[in-house]
Amino acid sequence: MSSRGLAAVAALAWRESRFARRHLALLLGAVGLGVGALVAVAGFRAQLARAIEDGARTLLGADATISSREPFGPRTSALLDSLRASGAEVARTTSFASMALAPADGRTRLARVRAVEPGFPFYGLVETDPPDAWASLQQGRNAVLDPGLLTALGVQPGDSVALGQARFVVRGSLVKVPGDAEIASAFAPRIYVPARYLDETGLVGFGSRVEYEAALRLPSRGSAEALERTHTRNLRVEHASVRTAEEAQSQLTESLGRLGSYMALVGSLALVLGGIGVGSATAAYVSRKWESIATLRCLGATSGQVLAVYVLQAAALGAAGAGLGVALGFAAQRVLTRLVASFLPVDVSPGLDLSAAAAGLAIGLWAALAFALLPILGVRRVSPLRALRRRLEPSAAEGKDPWRWAGWAAVAVSTALFFLLEAGSLKLAAIFGGGAVAALGLLALLAWGARRTLAGLPRNRLPFPIRQGLASLHRPGSQIRVVVPALGLGVFLLATVLLVRHNLLIPIRPAAGGSRADLVVWDVQDDQAEGVGAVLAARGLPLLQKAPIVPMRIGSIERATPGDEASSSARRGRASGWAVRREYRSTFRDSLVGSERVVEGRWWSPAGTAPGGGEAAANTEEGAAGADTYPVSMEQDVAGELGVRVGDRITWDVQGVPVETRVASLRSVEWARFEPNFFAVFPPGALAGAPRSWVVLTRAANPRASAALQSALVRRFPNVSVLDLTVIQQALDEVLDRVATIIRFLAAFSLGAGFVVLLGAVSASRLERLREAVLLKTLGATRGQVATALVVEYLTQGTLAALAGIALGVAAAWGLSRWLFEVPFEAPLPALVALGGLTALLAAAIGAGAGWSAYRGTPMEALREE
Amino acid sequence: MLIAQSLEKRYSTGGRELVVLRDVSFEVAAGEFVAVVGPSGSGKTTLLGLLAGLDLPTRGRVVLDGVSLRFLSEDDRARLRREKVGFVFQSFQLLPSLTALENVQVPLELRGESDASSRAGELLERVGLADRAGHFPAQLSGGEQQRVALARAFVHRPRILFADEPTGNLDSETGDAVAELLAELNRELGTTLVLVTHEDLVARRARRILRLADGRLVSDSAGAA
């Protein structure tokens, strides 16, 4: 096409769209919402990447850290000394969980104690309120606390807080600690104290889970990598590990990258919905243009020219919608940044990102063109004869057209590529894209079925307005097939979020009047166990469970090779490092507890746990079991990580003493229950004499009894820690609420796009409505009857969409609960009814409100408009 | 100028074969004004569609200004129309979102001509609607709309003009005025004119009348003009 020809076509495209622009503006909204969601996410991701890049060293507060679950051994200490000698700065931090107590009124709260040496952090600033609190920390027995902890203990700056035997003066509260996400303090609020007073607390004793970390400022850049390269193996012997700032950065980039992908995928649904809206509205628009197209063909327009007119219109629409979307996206990015901020260990600026804007424009243009393409392709085949005969058989434009297949292929391939681009991984794109397509397919199927059912339903006895409203759903040009999937998908997303959140909270929900534990007392030393029992008894509280805990590590694994050397070595190859190296906190008992069951092998009977004998040995080749071999029961997932099966031998290192075991059974464990569970369970005889601590479960039933017990326990046994179910509940509730808010925010774009599609559908059937208006009014229908019919029409569509979306949401949340989160599932009816009802009512209000304009005027006006 | 040779057109609708035209042959000389008449359902409009290349005959052939339409693609036929053919429809078929002037410009613009606007203005003036150039079709009366359509039909100086019941949607007085205008333009510009109508008054202006009945050409006679 010559440039003059192109200009003429462009002018024609512009003029030709003149009276449709008001309706097309809706499509702008459909594209704009989708692009907005994507630009918001993309802009946020770009700023996040920048923040991580800029703040790499503040993530650790150091160039590198060396950390261990045990006090640093001689090699590690020697390394730190030599580093110090070569000019490096070292600041050690010792962290552990402990009860903080307000001596004034005895209030307690489980806290994360961090005893730091001066100098930490080397990079970044700890922000506090008042601002000088951090600087004064090291000047005496001072403490800086999370604001939540201040509230829980009821203390203020100047008050004192007890940790074990020591007391500290509160200097202020934490505002921002480099490298820490704010949300982390929801579960265990932090309390910083100077390291030199740590011993005075008397808390770092046997059995407590302590983390030792040395933060390093190295004299030159690059020496962190050298340090890691040279010493990793050496330090591993002492169960210590090196982490560099670059590593921390790349790990954070990776995990946040995944978070970004999930957000982008939720956002991309809005765009696909918008695209579907564009497609359906374009189809309605083009079908109204057939006569104009036929006239143009009579006047000599080629199919290419006609196609160009409508492609240009779609492109202009896409560009305008994308532009709107970019503006919307920038605004949404600010909200998103604020919503996600508490999950991030870095400060993310809400600033604009030009590449995200450019990508948004391109994607919006693509969505408009790709989804409008199929209906537009039909214009090539509109016969000029249509100008002579208005009611020409439609087959002229709808006959078999090989280009339609190409069009479908282009839409499918480009949509798949789009999902791949947003997901960043083929698997995620396949799962998410496939799931979205399947959900849309199911919704479309339901709409189709509903339309068929409605058509066949006997309606004779229904009052006229209801009959009319239902009939509208299956008349030619009814948009139910688009409206139900578009609205349903948004409802589906929201219902899934609602249900998953609800079900994640079930396992820790206290059963009313039940007997489940709500307090876990741990770090109870062997000589304190009886005393703790006495405190409970004195208060009339039940001792629900009392389990010994023995820390240990895996010394070696010997896999049985029943004639299958290959499988054994394959399993060895699969064994993952963390499972082999980690510290195991195991227990011993002779029976199973309620949260576990044996899935393979057999549990030992109380009598059969002597070394070398018992049922474990009886299960395997009797002679192979040595005289000092005990059975052990492993949790099935960790067994998989270790690559061990029933019959394999594991030698445990129990504080220097080797204990030989043979895997007698594998258990499945409900980890989500508020009870102590164990990877490895031994029979009672196996760990006799090994140093142990105890964990005790009780039920206080009400907050006052709970607080009084915690206070009494901590005053008498300062090293004992108490986990309070209600605190965990509140924390989890808060975290889930924030996560749900983020997802809801993004899902709202999809629901919004769904409603835009609904509006588009109303507008698409405007002509039919005008004809109907003339007829109904001529026949004497009242305004009330017409309004009722409209409400029935859209209420039905909204209800169908809501029911279908909720049904899909229930299915998805059930699957997620069962297989991903492994928690029981239930559907909270009132919340779902509220979601469904609101959707249906909103659909009725929007649909009927928009459709009403066609009926408002007199029959004459309607005739004239036609 | 125009040759129709043994034209036959069949449609199959609902599994039934319907023969709309059978063995229709005639020739039209350059500058001639031919009216095609016949009762409704006799195949007039179908014949017009075939002659203008909007559709292809089941059998037979059409030669338009020396070009046989049979072997031209849909787009080639469209190009031929835009060079040589003008159209006037019963229901005017103005593009509703274009102004009167813009509607008249369309055939020129489709050809990529540069002075579309001034030439369109001249034609509007010729049909007496210069002052309505900026109006949209919905703002014009039926007669005005058909005059705009006439201006559009003649704007690119077509060699032949097809008119399908051009007065069918107009009252008799307005219809008469439009028919008169059509005949004038035919005379002034030397355009060959093929007009389908069932109104005798309009047909009588033609120099030759082809009469169709049941899809057959039953008479070919001189008109009153």
Q: Greater confidence, B49 or A769? A: B49
CB atoms within 10 A of CB A512: 5
pLDDT mean across residues, chain A? 84
* B97 pLDDT higher than 90: no
Considering CB atoms only, which of A12, A19, A389 is closest to B96? A19
Place of tokens 């079900």: A503
Please tell me the number of Cα atoms within 13 Å of B28 on its side-chain side.
29
Instruction: Say how far apart CA B163 and CA B139 lie, in whole Å.
Output: 23
Per the CB < 8 Å rule, is B110 touching A17?
Answer: no
Per the CB < 8 Å rule, is A295 touching B93?
Answer: yes
- pLDDT of the residue at A561: 63
Per the CB < 8 Å rule, is A18 touching B102?
Answer: no
User: Looking at residue A626, what DSSP letter applies?
Assistant: -
CB atoms within 10 A of CB A192: 28
Tell me which H or E stretch contains A509. none
As given in the structure block, the two tokens for residue B180 are: 């008169």
- pLDDT of the residue at A182: 79
Phi, psi of A91 (to 5 degrees): -130, 120
As given in the structure block, the two tokens for residue A755 are: 């409603």
Inform me whether the C-beta atom of residue B67 falls under 8 Å from chain A C-beta atoms: no
Q: Are strands B59-64 and B67-68 parallel, antiparallel or unpaired?
A: antiparallel
Task: List strand residue ranges (DSSP E) for A27-85, in order.
Answer: 64-68
Chain A's closest residue to B52, CA to CA, is: A298
> How close, in Å, is residue A258 to chain B by CA atoms?
49
* B71 pLDDT higher than 90: no
Per the CB < 8 Å rule, is B98 touching A296?
Answer: no
* Cβ atoms A44, A335 nearer than 8 A: no
Beta bridge partners of A55: none
CB atoms within 10 A of CB B59: 13
* Cβ atoms B181, B189 nearer than 8 A: no
Instruction: Say how far apart CA A400 and CA A355 lie, in whole Å.
Output: 41
Chain A's closest residue to B55, CA to CA, is: A385
Q: Are strands A210-217 and A240-244 parallel, antiparallel or unpaired?
A: unpaired
- pLDDT of the residue at A317: 87
- pLDDT of the residue at A513: 53
Considering CB atoms only, which of A19, A20, A297 is closest to B78? A297
* A15 pLDDT higher than 90: no
What residues of A are in contact with residue B79 (Cβ under 8 Å)? Answer: 300, 302
Instruction: Say how far apart CA A57 and CA A244 lie, in whole Å.
Output: 9
Buried residues in B182-194 as b, exposed as e (16+ CB within 10 A): bbebbeebebbbb
Length of chain B in terms of residues written? 225
Tell me which H or E stretch contains B37. strand B33-37
Instruction: Say how far apart CA A808 and CA A814 lie, in whole Å.
Output: 10
Buried residues in A42-54 as b, exposed as e (16+ CB within 10 A): bbbbbbbbebbee
Q: Which of A17, A24, A298, A382 to mutate to test the interface with B (most CBs of B within 10 A)?
A: A298
- pLDDT of the residue at A105: 87
Measured between its terminal Cα atoms, the distance across chain B in Å is 20
Instruction: Say how far apart CA A226 and CA A224 lie, in whole Å.
Output: 5
Per the CB < 8 Å rule, is A393 touching B13?
Answer: yes
Chain A's closest residue to B196, CA to CA, is: A388
Considering CB atoms only, which of A2, A5, A385 is closest to B49? A385
Chain B's closest residue to A6, CA to CA, is: B112
Confidence of residue A593 (pLDDT cuts 50, 70, 90): confident
Instruction: Say how far apart CA A751 and CA A846 lie, in whole Å.
Output: 13
Per the CB < 8 Å rule, is A20 touching B97?
Answer: yes
> How close, in Å, is residue A857 to chain B by CA atoms?
18
What residues of A are in contact with residue B74 (Cβ under 8 Å)? Answer: 303
* A362 pLDDT higher than 90: yes
* Cβ atoms A127, A746 nearer than 8 A: no
Phi, psi of A513 (to 5 degrees): 65, 10
Helix (H, G, I), strand (E, B) or coil at A633: strand
Instruction: Say how far apart CA A368 and CA A365 lie, in whole Å.
Output: 5
* A706 pLDDT higher than 80: yes
Q: What is the DSSP string of A108-146?
A: EEEEEEEEE-TT--SSS--EEESTTHHHHHTTTTEEEE-
What residues of B are in contact with residue A4 (Cβ under 8 Å)? Answer: 112, 114
Chain B's closest residue to A5, CA to CA, is: B112
> How close, in Å, is residue B90 to chain A by CA atoms?
8
pLDDT digits (tens, 9 = 90+) for A328-338: 999 999 999 98
* A138 pLDDT higher than 50: yes
Residue A704 neighbours by CB under 8 Å, 6+ apart: none
Chain A's closest residue to B98, CA to CA, is: A15
Chain B's closest residue to A18, CA to CA, is: B97
- pLDDT of the residue at A625: 46
Q: Which of A303, A388, A392 to mutate to test the interface with B (most CBs of B within 10 A)?
A: A388
Largest CA distance in chain B: 52
Q: Greater confidence, A861 or A135? A: A135
Interface residues on A facing B, Cβ-Cβ cutoff 8 A: 2, 4-5, 8, 11-12, 15-20, 291-292, 294-305, 383-385, 387-390, 393
Chain A's closest residue to B84, CA to CA, is: A300
Q: Greater confidence, A2 or B80? A: B80
* A168 pLDDT higher than 70: yes
pLDDT digits (tens, 9 = 90+) for A493-522: 889 888 988 888 777 666 555 667 888 898
* Cβ atoms A90, A84 nearer than 8 A: yes
pLDDT digits (tens, 9 = 90+) for B31-45: 899 999 998 888 888
As given in the structure block, the two tokens for residue A68 are: 């261990």
Residue A135 neighbours by CB under 8 Å, 6+ apart: none
Chains A, B: CB pairs < 8 Å: 96
Per the CB < 8 Å rule, is B78 touching A4?
Answer: no
Please state, in angstroms and as integers, the Cα–Cα distance from residue A728 to each residue in A148, A152, A617, A722, following that order.
13, 13, 41, 11
- pLDDT of the residue at B218: 93
* A206 pLDDT higher than 70: no
Instruction: Say how far apart CA A150 and CA A185 lie, in whole Å.
Output: 12
- pLDDT of the residue at B198: 83
Confidence of residue A257 (pLDDT cuts 50, 70, 90): confident
Instruction: Say how far apart CA A503 and CA B34 lie, in whole Å.
Output: 82
* A326 pLDDT higher than 90: yes
* Cβ atoms A374, A404 nearer than 8 A: yes
Task: List strand residue ranges (DSSP E) for B92-215, in order.
Answer: 160-164, 192-196, 208-213
* Cβ atoms A5, A294 nearer than 8 A: no
What residues of B are in contact with residue A291 (Cβ under 8 Å)? Answer: 93
Chain A's closest residue to B90, CA to CA, is: A388
Q: Greater confidence, A764 or A540? A: A540
Task: Report the pLDDT averaged over residues A855-865.
Answer: 58
Q: Which of B56, B98, B104, B110 to mutate to test the interface with A (most CBs of A within 10 A)?
A: B110
Per the CB < 8 Å rule, is A299 touching B74?
Answer: no
Phi, psi of A177 (to 5 degrees): -115, 125
Task: Report the pLDDT averaged over residues A302-322.
Answer: 90
Q: Greater confidence, A296 or A386? A: A296
> How close, in Å, is residue A386 to chain B by CA atoms?
9
Please tell me the number of Cα atoms within 13 Å of A710 on its side-chain side.
31
pLDDT digits (tens, 9 = 90+) for A596-619: 899 999 998 765 555 544 444 444
Inform me whether the C-beta atom of residue B102 falls under 8 Å from chain A C-beta atoms: yes
- pLDDT of the residue at A380: 84
Which among A326, A412, A331 has a CA at the least distance from the CA of A363? A326
Per the CB < 8 Å rule, is B85 touching A300?
Answer: yes
- pLDDT of the residue at A624: 42
Considering CB atoms only, which of A20, A292, A297 is closest to B95? A292
As given in the structure block, the two tokens for residue A552 are: 């240990």
Largest CA distance in chain A: 103
- Comparing A166-180, A376-390, A411-425, A626-640, the range with the smallest average pLDDT is A376-390
> How close, in Å, is residue A379 to chain B by CA atoms?
13
Per the CB < 8 Å rule, is B95 touching A295?
Answer: yes
Beta bridge partners of A450: none
Inform me whether the C-beta atom of residue B15 falls under 8 Å from chain A C-beta atoms: no
Per the CB < 8 Å rule, is B78 touching A295?
Answer: no
Q: What is the DSSP string of A299-319?
A: TT--HHHHHHHHHHHHHHHHH
**Angle between the N-to-C axes of helices A480-505 and A783-815, in degrees from 0 to 180, rounded to the nearest 10:** 40
Specify burial of residue A348 (Cβ count, 10 A radius: 0-12, 13-18, 19+).
buried
ipTM of the shown complex? 0.82
As given in the structure block, the two tokens for residue A781 are: 């229908």
Instruction: Say how far apart CA A325 and CA A40 lie, in whole Å.
Output: 9
Tell me which H or E stretch contains B62. strand B59-64
Chain A's closest residue to B104, CA to CA, is: A299
What residues of B are in contact with residue A17 (Cβ under 8 Å)? Answer: 97
* pTM (whole model) above 0.90: no
User: Looking at residue A38, what DSSP letter applies?
Assistant: H
As given in the structure block, the two tokens for residue A624 are: 């192979």
Per the CB < 8 Å rule, is A12 touching B109?
Answer: yes
Tell me which H or E stretch contains A821. none
What residues of A are in contact with residue B83 (Cβ under 8 Å)? Answer: 300
Side by side, the strands of the sheet bearing B16-28 are B16-28, B2-13, B59-64, B67-68
Chain A's closest residue to B81, CA to CA, is: A300
Per the CB < 8 Å rule, is A298 touching B109?
Answer: no
Which among A574, A67, A40 has a CA at the least distance from the CA of A334? A40
Q: Quick one: what percent of chain B has pLDDT higher than 70?
A: 99
Per the CB < 8 Å rule, is B98 touching A291?
Answer: no
pLDDT digits (tens, 9 = 90+) for B119-147: 999 999 988 999 999 999 888 998 899 99
Please state, in angstroms and as integers, the Cα–Cα distance from residue A207 to each residue in A202, A311, A544, A549, A574, following that order.
13, 72, 22, 8, 31
Chain A's closest residue to B165, CA to CA, is: A388
Angle, vertex CA A5, rays to CA A3 and CA A10, nearest 5: 90
